[in-house]
Amino acid sequence: MSGVPGGPSKKSSSRTMATKKLIIDEFKRRLRDNIKSLNDNFFHIIQAAKVSPDDNAYKNQTGKMAEFYTTKNEMAVRAQLMVRASDELLRLTTDLKEFLILHDFHFLTHNIKSAEAQCEDELRKQSQFHQAIDSDVSNMLLDLEREIGENFYLRHT
């Protein structure tokens, strides 16, 4: 225990911040790697789908079939790699949500308090608006009753 007040909490706070930074860096790396995998594999699938204008490669039937099956298998493997990268991105979003929920209570608390304050402000404004309308309607009714009373009763007497 340190003689300085708040010493241990500063160490644990800096350790927590370092841990959060490492986790965030890992999330960034995973995102970058998976996006790169998606882009590279998509590029290679499109590239493999292009038809070669070289007719010499297609003169014998065995050459055509060998190239066809090679291209087909390459595309299947690359498509599977794209599916794997997409699945990793879904896991990454789940991990990010979990990280935010477990490690960022201050942010969540701040957002909840902000939403409550905004709701209270809106409620206060609506209440004032309602009171103003109620007052206007009451004044109009009083004016109407007075007008009716003055004009209607004077004619009958």
What are the pLDDT tens digits along the chain (157 aa)?
A: 444 444 455 666 677 777 878 888 898 999 999 999 999 999 999 988 887 666 665 667 777 788 888 889 999 999 999 999 999 999 999 998 888 877 776 766 777 788 899 999 999 999 999 999 999 999 999 998 888 888 877 655 4
118 lies in some domain: yes
| Residue 130: predicted pLDDT | 94
Please indicate, yes or no, whether the overall pTM of this predicted structure exceeds 0.85. no
User: Which DSSP string corresponds to 105-157?
Assistant: HHHHHHHHHHHHHHHHHHHHHHHHHHHHHHHHHHHHHHHHHHHHHHHHHHHH-
**Can you give the residue range of the structural domain that contains 27?**
23-49+63-152
Q: What is the mean pLDDT of the chain?
A: 83
Give how many domains the chain has, as a whole number. Answer: 1
18 located within any domain: no
Is residue 99 in a domain? yes
Q: Does residue 15 fall inside a structural domain?
A: no
Q: What is the pLDDT of residues 19-40, one digit of tens each?
A: 878 888 898 999 999 999 999 9
